[in-house]
Amino acid sequence: MQLDEYARLDATGLAGLIRSGSLSATEAVQLALEAADSVNPELNAIIHPRYERALEEARSAGGNDDAPFAGVPIVLKDLGAPMAGEPYYAGTAFLREINYVPAADSYLTARLRRAGFMVIGRTNCPEMGTNITTEPLTYGPTHNPWSSAHSPGGSSGGSAAAVSAGIVPVAHGNDGGGSIRIPASCCGLVGLKPSRGRVSAGPASGDAWAGSAIDNSLARSVRDAAAILDVLAGYEPGDPYTAPPPARPFSSEVGAPAGRLRIGFLDRPALKEFAADPDCSAAVLSTARILEGLGHVVEEAHPAAMEREGFQQHFLTVVTGSIAAEIDRWSAVLGHRIEPKVLEPDNATFYRMGTEVTASQYLRAVQWLHDYRIRMAEFWHGEGFDLLLTPTIAKPPPELGYLSDPEYGQARIPEYQQFTAQFNVTGQPAVSLPMALSSTGLPIGVQLVAAYGREDLLIRLASQLEQAGAFLSQRPRIFAGGSL
C-alpha cells in the first residue's frame, strides 16, 4: 500500500484491510511511522513517540480477528488516558522534569488496547488542558495542517493535527469545554463529545470539572466516531454514574433512517456583546438549507438559557477550583509542593483563583450550573426540538499566538468559545462536523447538540449529511499523502 492510500483511509476501512489479510498490522504501523516522519517535524503534533514499541507490538499481535481495530495505529493525547510505562506530562514542566511514568493504564487506554489499536505516540496539548489552542511553553505550538501559521485548536490540538494530516486515522481526545469539538472544527474532522457518564474517566478520576469533562476521539468519518464510542462506552468499577445504555450499538446508527427531525439553529453568539462572524454564520445557514432539503423541519430557535448572564463566572469557579485541587493532588503524588512559579502564567492565575474559592462558593456554583442545566433542557424536553445547530466556534481558526498571549490570550477566548462549554455543563452529547471553509481556506465546523443520552440521533443525522456529500472533500496543505 502506498502512503497516499493509507493516509486517506479511516480506521474502519484500515481495520477491514488488516482483517482480510490485504495488509498486516506491522505494515499499517510502518505506514503510520512513515507518515509521522513526513509531516510531524512541521506539525509538532506527536511529542512522545513510541515508534519502535508500536512496531514490536504489531509484530507480536498475530491475527486477532475478535478485536474490531486490530492493528490500527492511534495516538493518545498527553492528557487523560495514561498508559503504563509511558511518559505522561499533561503539558506541564513539573511532570516532564521528573519524567513521570504511570504504573497502570486507565480504563480508557485498556479498552483501546483490547480493541486492537496500536499506540504510536502521545500528542501535544496545552498545559493541563486549560486553553483552546495547543501552544504549551514546554513543547511549543502544534501547527494546523491547513495553515502552519494557525492554531489547530485545543486542548486536543495535537491529536486533531495528527488525524487531519494523515498520520493516524483516529486519535484520542477529551473535552471539558469544547476540547474535542474545537480542534475538530479547526482541522476539518468529526469530533463527538458523548453524554456525561458515557465514557469512564477511571480509575484515577471520577468526574473532572464537576462532570463537565469526558473522553472520546477525533475522527475522519462518522462511522469511526460511532464505532470507537462503542469501544469506549460503558460503566467501569467505581464510576460515580453512567449514561443510560444505548438500545443498540452506536455503529448501528450509521446510515439508519433519521426520520423527520425538528432542528433549531443559532447562527450567531447568543450573548449580545459578541458579533457574528460571516463565515461561521454562513456555514450554519448552508447546513440548515441542506437539512431542509433532506426533509427536516429547521427553524431559527435556541435555548433561552444560552443568553443567561452568569454562566462563564460560575463555570470558571468550578474550573479554577478543580485546577487548584489537581495541582495539589500532583503535589501529594510528587511529595513536594508545586509552586505556582513553575506553572504557565494563565495556570498560575487559575491556581491562585482556585485556592481562594471556598467550599460553599464552589457548591453554590455547582448548584447554579445545575439550575442552568434544567433551564437548557427545556428546549429539548419542553419545546420539542430534537437537535440544535450552531457554529462550533464563533470564528475561523485563530493565528498561533493570539490565544496564548500571556497578557491578552485568556481575555480573547470568549471571542471563540461561545457554543461548546454550555453542553459540557449540561452533559448533552454534541458533535462538530466539517461542513465549510472560511474565505481564507480554513475549516469551519458546525455543531449539532442532542438531548442527554441521544448520541443515536447525532450519529444518524451526521451520517445523513456525510452520505449526502456535505462534508469537506479537500485535504490540508500538510498531508502525508499529498493534498488534493
pLDDT tens per residue, range 124-155: 999 999 999 999 999 999 999 999 999 999 99
Judge whether 308 lies within some domain: no
Assess contact for 369 and 322: CB atoms under 8 A: no
pLDDT tens per residue, range 235-274: 999 999 999 999 999 999 999 999 999 999 999 999 989 9
pLDDT tens per residue, range 155-210: 999 999 999 999 999 999 999 999 999 999 999 999 999 999 999 999 999 999 99
What whole-number distance in Å separates Cα of residue 40 and Cα of residue 33? 10
Give me the chain's average pLDDT, please: 97
Q: In this predicted structure, what is the pLDDT of residue 390?
A: 98
3-state SS assignment for residue 238: coil
Q: In this predicted structure, what is the pLDDT of residue 61?
A: 84
pLDDT tens per residue, range 21-62: 999 999 999 999 999 999 999 999 999 999 999 999 999 986
- Residue of 155, 251, 322, 463 marked catalytic: 155
What whole-number distance in Å separates Cα of residue 393 and Cα of residue 444? 8
Q: Sort strands 443-450 and 46-49 into parallel, antiparallel or unpaired.
A: unpaired
Judge whether 88 lies within some domain: yes
Q: Is 347 exposed, middle or buried (0-12, 13-18, 19+ CB in 10 A)?
A: buried
pLDDT tens per residue, range 367-399: 999 999 999 999 999 999 999 999 999 999 999
Q: Which helix (H) or strand (E) holds 433?
A: strand 430-437
**Whole-structure pTM over 0.75, yes or no?**
yes
CA distance from start to end of the chain: 18
Cell match 486549560: residue?
A: 130
Instruction: Work out how many domains the chain is built from and give that number.
Output: 1
What whole-number distance in Å separates Cα of residue 367 and Cα of residue 374? 11
Q: In this predicted structure, what is the pLDDT of residue 66?
A: 83
Judge whether 344 lies within some domain: no
The residue range of the domain holding 16 is 3-262+391-467
Q: Which helix (H) or strand (E) holds 483?
A: none
Q: In this predicted structure, what is the pLDDT of residue 484?
A: 53
Judge whether 252 lies within some domain: yes
Judge whether 268 lies within some domain: no
Cell match 474559592: residue?
A: 357
- Residue of 106, 147, 151, 179 marked catalytic: 179
- Angle at CA 192, nearest 5°, toward 113 and 167? 55
Q: In this predicted structure, what is the pLDDT of residue 482?
A: 80
What whole-number distance in Å separates Cα of residue 46 and Cα of residue 379? 41
Furthest CA-CA distance within the chain: 61
What whole-number distance in Å separates Cα of residue 337 and Cα of residue 298? 54
Q: In what order do the strands lie in the sheet with 443-450?
A: 46-49, 118-123, 73-77, 170-175, 214-219, 190-193, 430-437, 443-450, 387-391, 262-265, 297-300
- Confirm whether 179 is a catalytic residue: yes
Quickly count: other Cβ atoms within 10 Å of residue 337's Cβ: 11
Q: In this predicted structure, what is the pLDDT of residue 63?
A: 55
Judge whether 314 lies within some domain: no
pLDDT-derived band at 481 (thresholds 50, 70, 90) equals: confident
Judge whether 48 lies within some domain: yes
CATH of the domain at 96: 3.90.1300.10
